[in-house]
Amino acid sequence: DKISAEQDYLLARQTLQEAEIALNNARQKMTALSGSAVLVGGNRYELRAPFAGVVVEKHLGVGEVVSETSNAFTLSDLSQVWVTFGVFPKDLNKVRVGKPVKVSSTEMGTEVLGTVAYVGNLLGEQTRTATVRVSVPNPDDAWRPGLFVTVQVATDTYPAKVTVPQAAIQTVEDKPSVFVRTADGFVTRHLELGISENGYVEVRQGLDAGAQVATVGSFILKSELGKGSAEHAH
């Protein structure tokens, strides 16, 4: 009996030592993962967040068994948010880190200025676009993750000698064209176009500066031109 009792004692002591080692390891892992873990009494721990923020999700319930790998909470700092979008290869030279970006939301009816913080080097296999991240200040926590937005990246500017409204451009004889006002009405001018921005298109060739072009009624003029061509063919 004495030998048996001593063996039980040694086994119990070994089990206790192993449990203490496991407990210490768990404490160290919890401290590393959560910023700090403080024993406040009994089996109760106080978890301290590694940064200031708002708890947006709770993963644990009362009485749930947890381990050092369990996720307790999801903490979010929304004072600064990311806006992510894709850019096609042909436009990557226009998007660089540090460039200003206007971010707007139709749902919120507001807009804010941000800055390009990251431009990806790889293209998505399916989208064939590079990922761009924009840093946006969010002091009032108004911008929330999951919100759909529109972004406008400021590009390098240069003076265009001649521009026309986008609405004035019509396709005539498979060429971009405008209808120019003359003393006798309107005549068609085929154009060579450049870049477009904010509803205007650069005209590189085909139109003199100061020429008056039809904008609102350009589609009607195109229709009349088509009718005239059809009657002439008969």
Domain extents for the chain?
Answer: 2-76, 80-153, 163-233
Mean pLDDT of 189-212: 88
| 178 within 8 A of 167, measured Cβ to Cβ | no
Asked whether 116 and 153 are in contact (CB, 8 A), the reply is yes
163-233 folds as 2.40.420
* Tens digits of residue pLDDT in 153-199: 877 666 778 999 998 999 988 899 999 999 888 899 999 998 877 78
In the block, tokens 């959560």 appear at: 34
Tell me what the pLDDT averaged over the chain comes to. 78
Percent of the chain whose predicted confidence (pLDDT) is above 70: 78
Report the range of poorest mean pLDDT among 32-36, 77-81, 228-232.
228-232
When comparing pLDDT for 233 and 169, which is higher?
169
> What pLDDT is stored for residue 230 in this prediction?
43
Reported as a single tens digit per residue, the pLDDT across 120-158 is 888 888 888 989 989 888 877 788 878 888 888 877 666
Give CA–CA dist 155/194, Å, rounded.
15
pLDDT given at position 163: 92
Q: For 80-153, give the CATH class.
A: mainly beta
pLDDT in the model for residue 157: 67
Question: With 0-12 CB in 10 A as exposed, 13-18 as middle and 19+ as buried, what is 226?
Answer: exposed
- Give the DSSP letter of residue 208: -
Same fold, 80-153 and 163-233: no
pLDDT of residue 105 exceeding 90: no
What's the CA gap between 135 and 145, in Å, rounded? Answer: 13
pLDDT above 90: residue 24: no
Burial degree of 145 (CB within 10 A; 0-12, 13-18, 19+): exposed
